[in-house]
Amino acid sequence: MRTAPPQLLLLGSIASVQFGSAFADRLFDRAGPAGVVLLRLLLAAIVLNLITRPSLLGRSRRDLMFVVAFGLVLGTMNWSFYEAIDRLPLGVAVTVEFTGPLVVAVLGSRRALDAVWIVLAGGGVALLAVRGSHAGVTVLGVLLALAAACCWALYIFLSKRVGAAFAKLDGLALAMLIGTLVAAPAGIVEGGGELLKPAILAGGLGVAIFSSLLPYSLEITALRRLTPAAFGLLQSLQPAVATLAGVIVLSESVSLTLAIALLMVVTASVGSTLAARRQAPVIPAPEQIDPIGAGGQ
């Protein structure tokens, strides 16, 4: 991967996340959204903790509080997003959820022009909520996707704190265990005995690999050779790739409302990225990279 073009690696990460979410959707009828989230977080946490073998020795109370908060947000973000895609077309859910990191990026730049991007993205979400009912869009689904967007914004803040306090992936590994506990009650209720069936376990492992472990590996390699502008521009493709995954895997249709809303959010993301001044290479701490994709996905 180190010799491959970083743009190609990041595109692979985006595709892996979105198609992983689409395949997760196909498991909902048997294990429920919360059950699939539980399997995804649990299996990914097991693999990551076996690799990192994190230790709590010498950790301050403040560090541990950040890890717990990080894990709570991580679990809630995944849970709310999977509940959203059970009620919305995948492209719609990702378009709404993508407003979380977009707002964080825009607010961080503090430019008057960035208010335009917020209004544009907000208009896209409002359009989906008001005019999207004929395309399978529900108000509850949009609210759940907005909850995931808020969690993604908090995730960005907390990942920086955890990444600064913990070396390598230790903080992320511990946070994923906390996230698993968050999803466990609802996951057990919704999934029940289905969670122990080999076919569902295999599907959950596949979702964990394609939505968590593989995209994380691709991103962490790509980000070392990408500028923030290039990273932001490629990330702007998340809603579009999600829509494509929904069409291919879930046979979803693309309505005019979805196409317009998606264009509004993607334009806001591209505009805010191009308006950014800094072009320095981005080499984030491991925990600063979204280990579950898109977001929050």
Calculate mean pLDDT across residues 170-185: 91
**pLDDT tops 50 at residue 114:** yes
Tens-place pLDDT, residues 139-148: 899 899 999 9
Q: Which two structure tokens, joined as six digits, stand for 297?
A: 């996905």
Q: What is the pLDDT of residues 25-55, one digit of tens each?
A: 999 999 999 999 999 999 999 998 998 888 8
16-32 pLDDT, tens digit per residue, is 999 999 999 999 999 99
C-alpha–C-alpha distance, residues 176 and 68, integer Å: 10
Residue 11, classified by CB atoms within 10 Å of its CB into exposed (0-12), middle (13-18) or buried (19+), is: middle
pLDDT score at 115: 76
Kindly indicate the confidence band of residue 84, based on its pLDDT and cuts at 50, 70 and 90: very high
Give how far Cα 59 sits from Cα of 64, 102, 284, Å: 7, 33, 22
Average pLDDT, the chain: 83
What pLDDT, in 10s, does the model give residues 214-266? 887 787 777 777 776 677 778 888 888 999 999 999 998 888 888 888 899 88
